[in-house]
Amino acid sequence: TAPTPVGPVPNARQIEWYHREIIAFFHFGMNTFTGDNEGDGKADPEQFNPAALDCNQWTSVLKRAGITSAILVAKHADGFCNWPTAHTNYSVKNSPWKDGKGDVVKEFTDACKAAGIKAAIYLGPHDRHDSRYGTDDYANYYADQLSELLRNYGPIWEIWWDGAGADKLTTAYYTRWADSVRALQPNCVIFGTKNSYAFADCRWVGNESGISGDPCWSTINPSSIQEETGHITELNEGEINGTAYIPAEVDVSIRPSWFYHPEEDARVKTVDELWDIYLKSVGRNSVLLLNYPPNKEGLVSSIDAQRTDSLRYLIHGTFKTNLASGARIKTLHPRGSNYKPSNMLDNNESSYYATSDAYTTDTIEVDLGSKKTFDVLMLQEVIELGHRTTGWSVDYSANGKSWTPIPEATGKQSIGYKWIVKCKPVTATKLRLRITSGKAGAAIHTFGIYKQQSIRPDGIAKAAI
């Protein structure tokens, strides 16, 4: 029989969300034209006028990189609306762009649909333009806009409730808005913060640098989300005995700012930096939300696109070959033939290895058959069964007899959806994964070793795969 789940487990939305691994964020709005990041809400709609907006160009960048979900900022805290909402005049309909007939949300959702990308929306809860902000009238206004966006643009995959400046918005307001999300878009993931903590499918990671904690548990006590100050470590690492399953979504911009500034063209994150962020977010049981600031023309700049191609090249090139596949694998406490050790090496998520119920520790030995050199290691737990393993280490053997710890893979704690360890190159004939503690017997669907794809000295991948 299958192992029984332990502790909080993910819902269907969260399981689907984890599989996206990387989500693109697009900050495009009035700030793009004024040069701000946090506009005061007073900028004239006349200023919004992209000369060549092309959301299909945005999605082509994502498609090449294998990124299959994207979040558009429909309204940031300056209050300017990127769609011709019926509920305020502070929107594209009073801009010169397309003679006031344009709709960025429509162009974005259409482009996503055409590219097979899940479209999602950031509707800033904080609003510096609308004088009703913080009152019941504002809550009605926000509810009207939310329902407009959730009704008129097809499936909306995620809604992003930024906590920045949102302290006046009570849980009662969010309860009403969350009810509307659930009624109109039952499968929509909620990024919840502060007073929307009760509805969060995923949480803020506690920084905007792209770095999850080590460990990083998918579980947390929701009060840590509500009271961010003083709980940054909990947001970053999760809480091993947290009462709710609310994994981290790691928001970081490919440039220093969230919105486009020409002077930052030379400061786009390098491939090395992006790879490091990938390892410390996706590789730490989190989903990466990588921000692109389209420029004043309305396009993703070529350097941002090139870096994205290179990141894709690195990820794909590294993980395409599991050097342990086909190895002989045996364990100390196997559960039985339906959960055999080789299931960890079959590149198939639906088959997994499980430890016998009588044990919370185990030793998994992999005989590679010949010498293999690797510098990346990956584990994936069966997340539907909860966080089970709470302590693990990997040793290697060069001669097949004595064991040496891999320092970077020693004393690890969480696994979850995916845990990646980057280590100094190791040449081994055998590996040993020691499960040193757990809430229940291990349930692991993938154990992999890889050689990191090399990049050219200029940091640019030769070709996107």
* Chain residues in the site for ligand OTN (CB under 6 A): 162-164, 193-194, 204, 208, 228, 251
What Å distances lie between residue 392 and 8, 91, 406, CA to CA? 21, 53, 12
- CA angle centred on 230, ends 168 and 273, rounded to 5°: 100
Q: Which is nearer to ligand OTN, 107 or 251 (CB)?
A: 251
Tell me whether strands 287-292 and 219-220 are parallel, antiparallel or unpaired.
unpaired
CB of 350 to ligand OTN, least distance (A): 34
Length of the chain: 465
Q: Which is nearer to ligand OTN, 280 or 340 (CB)?
A: 280
- Cβ–Cβ < 8 Å for 48, 36: no
Tell me whether strands 287-292 and 22-26 are parallel, antiparallel or unpaired.
parallel
Query: 140 CB contacts (<8 Å, ≥6 apart)?
Result: none
Q: Please identify the residue of the shown chain whose CB is closest to the bound ligand OTN.
A: 163
Q: Which is nearer to ligand OTN, 204 or 450 (CB)?
A: 204
Q: Tell me how far apart the alpha carbons of residues 61 and 307 are, in angstroms, rounded to a whole number.
A: 10
Q: Give the 3-state secondary structure of residue 409.
A: helix
CB of 208 to ligand OTN, least distance (A): 5
Q: What are phi and psi of 116, to 5 degrees?
A: 70, 30
Q: Which is nearer to ligand OTN, 229 or 350 (CB)?
A: 229
User: In which residue are the tokens 């959702």 written?
Assistant: 109
Question: Which is nearest to 193 in space by CA: 108, 125, 276, 107?
Answer: 125
CB of 398 to ligand OTN, least distance (A): 44
Q: Which is nearer to ligand OTN, 193 or 389 (CB)?
A: 193
**Omega of the bond prior to 457 within 30 degrees of 0, cis?**
no
CB of 24 to ligand OTN, least distance (A): 15
Q: Tell me how far apart the alpha carbons of residues 219 and 225 are, in angstroms, rounded to a whole number.
A: 11
Give the number of other Cβ atoms within 10 Å of residue 11's Cβ: 12
Question: Which is nearest to 125 in space by CA: 166, 92, 81?
Answer: 166
Q: Which is nearer to ligand OTN, 137 or 227 (CB)?
A: 227
Torsion of CA 81, 228, 244, 415, to 10 degrees: 100
CB of 434 to ligand OTN, least distance (A): 37
CB of 204 to ligand OTN, least distance (A): 4
CB of 125 to ligand OTN, least distance (A): 9
CB of 110 to ligand OTN, least distance (A): 27
CB of 206 to ligand OTN, least distance (A): 9
Q: Report CA Rg, the chain.
A: 23
Q: Which is nearer to ligand OTN, 191 or 374 (CB)?
A: 191
Q: Which is nearer to ligand OTN, 197 or 313 (CB)?
A: 197
Question: Which is nearest to 119 in space by CA: 68, 66, 77?
Answer: 68
Question: Which is nearest to 257 in space by CA: 17, 22, 34?
Answer: 34
